[in-house]
């Protein structure tokens, strides 16, 4: 897969999906142990829309982050995914904002016109 001139291998995309799943499982487990049970399951968008889930990882020492985007239709079918490295990121909030921005660029590049954005921090 090529996005923004960067080539991504299948194992990178699989790693992103597995990481997203692991984060979700950790969040659910954390909520259950603190007594704050929440419905953390993925909810589909309306028919005809694409849901863009975005997330970021941030490394404080290097001020670098990685933005990740996963696009799914109303049936949960994966329509595309991307990961993008970012430099000069001030903090985790900026990393999440950059991931949100990346999701919008990804939607534009893929030709998605009706989208729903979902992140865990913004």
Query: Hey, what domains does the chain have and what are their CATH numbers?
Result: 2-119 (3.30.420)
pLDDT tens-place string over residues 9-62: 666 666 666 666 666 665 555 555 455 545 568 899 999 999 999 999 999 999
Q: What is the pLDDT of residue 121?
A: 82
What pLDDT, on a 0 to 100 scale, did the predictor assign at position 54? 96
pLDDT value at residue 69: 95
Higher pLDDT, 34 or 96: 96
Q: Which residues of 41-72 are buried (b: 16+ CB within 10 A; e: fewer)?
A: eeeebeeeebbbbbbbebeeeeeebbbbbbbb
Is-contact 106 52, C-beta < 8 A? yes
**Structure confidence by residue, pLDDT tens digits, 73-94:** 999 999 999 999 999 999 999 9
Distances (CA, A) of 96 to 22, 36, 64, 92, 110: 18, 23, 12, 6, 21
Residue owning tokens 């999440």: 96
- Structural contact between residues 110 and 80, judged by C-beta atoms closer than 8 angstroms: yes
Cα 103 to Cα 81: distance, rounded to the nearest angstrom? 9
């Amino acid at each position: 897969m090529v996005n923004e001139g960067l080539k991504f291998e299948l194992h990178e995309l699989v790693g992103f999906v597995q990481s997203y799943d692991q984060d979700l499982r950790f969040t659910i487990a954390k909520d259950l142990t603190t007594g704050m049970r929440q419905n953390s399951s993925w909810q589909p968008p309306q028919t005809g829309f694409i849901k863009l889930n975005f997330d970021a990882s941030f490394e404080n020492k290097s001020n670098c982050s990685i933005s990740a985007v996963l696009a799914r239709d109303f049936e949960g079918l994966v329509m595309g995914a991307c990961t993008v490295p970012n430099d000069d990121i001030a903090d985790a909030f900026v990393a999440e904002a950059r991931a949100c921005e990346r999701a919008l660029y990804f939607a534009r590049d893929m030709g998605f016109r009706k989208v729903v954005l979902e992140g865990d921090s913004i």
